[in-house]
Structure 1
Amino acid sequence: MQPPPIAFSIHISASPEAVYEVYADVPGWPRWDPDTRAAGLDGSLQAGARGWLRPRKGLKVAMHVAEATPGRSFTVECPVLGSRMRFGHELVPAAGGVQVTHSASFHGWLAGWLDRTVGRDVRAGLPATLVSLKAHVEQGGAGR
């Protein structure tokens, strides 16, 4: 049985394209994501791209872009001990800006354990990450 996804949303006073531009700068993720120490991607943010992520806590993990629709969404997956973590990023136009939702889900034989361990940190960190992303984008953070 898979645990339910973890998801949080925030309104950002910017266009979906402006937020996506910040996402597309993968090495720049640590500027707005307090849970990311470093990240890299071989190529651009598109489906099939491969890269890596080094969280503030834990070891460097491989990352695969499972889905990417510029200006709308992207999803990355990270393998962990024969299971996988899936991180979604969705942009929905809203009055005066965009509704941004970040989600995380755990899949595979260790999904329950990952939800109870890593999931605890994700639940605590996602709201802060969204607040930081909002501040970064609204202060003109694309390309900074």
Structure 2
Amino acid sequence: MKTIATAKITTDVRPEAFFERWADMATWPEWNTDTAWVRLDTPFRAGATGALKPKGGPVTRFVVSALVPGREFTDVSLLFGARLTFQHLVGVDEHGTTVTVRVTLAGPLAFLWNVILGKDIAKGLDGDLARLEAAARAAGVPA
């Protein structure tokens, strides 16, 4: 498995506001600039499946591999010969809410997908997380 990008923020926005934004996948293009659209086949929960359309890329199937409200949301895009995983971890301490996003690639063709996608994902991840924070703030009340 290869980590291709990591982003982290600490904010006063409550953790639930992030999970509300992640669960409302139809709004992902508002904060994720590389995404044209996202659709879930089933309700937002561990094991849910769906499809997303990256801008300039083909429709990609994904699965919600982990969902622990207030703590973790992980989705895995099923690429040909590889799995692209976005792990979103949320923690709360005396400084506020910390959100960490880690993107990894695994599988026999991970090296190829890293060449195709890696630089753009790494370049855009901090901005996407900042826009997600703004969307979560606009939709919710700070902690």
Both proteins in one fold, TM over 0.5: yes
Q: 1:55 to 1:95 in 2, by over 3 A?
A: farther
SS of the residue corresponding to residue 139 of structure 1 reads helix
SS of the residue corresponding to residue 126 of structure 2 reads helix
Q: How does 1:31-70 map to 2 (within 5 A)?
A: 31-70=30-69
Give the gaps of 5 or more residues in structure 2.
none
Give the paired residue count.
Answer: 141
Q: 1:122 to 1:141 in 2, by over 3 A?
A: farther
SS of the residue corresponding to residue 138 of structure 1 reads helix
Report % sequence identity: 32
Question: Which whole-Å deviations, capped at 9, do the CAs of 1:22-49 have from their partners, x for residues lacking one?
Answer: 1111111112211211001122221111
Do 1:65 and 1:77's aligned partners in 2 also have CA atoms closer than 8 Å?
yes
Give the whole-Å Cα distance in 1 for the aligned partners of 2:95 and 2:13: 7
SS of the residue corresponding to residue 132 of structure 1 reads helix
Q: 1:93 aligns to what?
A: 92
1:139 shift after superposition: 2.2
Give the whole-Å Cα distance in 2 for the aligned partners of 1:141 and 1:33: 18
Q: 2:5 aligns to what?
A: 6
Q: 1:118 aligns to what?
A: 117
Question: Which whole-Å deviations, capped at 9, do the CAs of 1:60-89 have from their partners, x for residues lacking one?
Answer: 100111111111111111111121111111
RMSD (Å) for aligned C-alpha atoms: 1.7
Give the whole-Å Cα distance in 2 for the aligned partners of 1:128 and 1:27: 19
Letter in 1 for 2:11: I
Q: 1:70 to 1:101 in 2, by over 3 A?
A: same
Q: 1:26 aligns to what?
A: 25
1:112 shift after superposition: 1.6
Do 1:89 and 1:101's aligned partners in 2 also have CA atoms closer than 8 Å?
yes
Do 1:22 and 1:141's aligned partners in 2 also have CA atoms closer than 8 Å?
no
Larger deviation: 3-12 or 39-48? Answer: 3-12
Give the gaps of 5 or more residues in structure 1.
none
Q: 1:33 to 1:94 in 2, by over 3 A?
A: farther
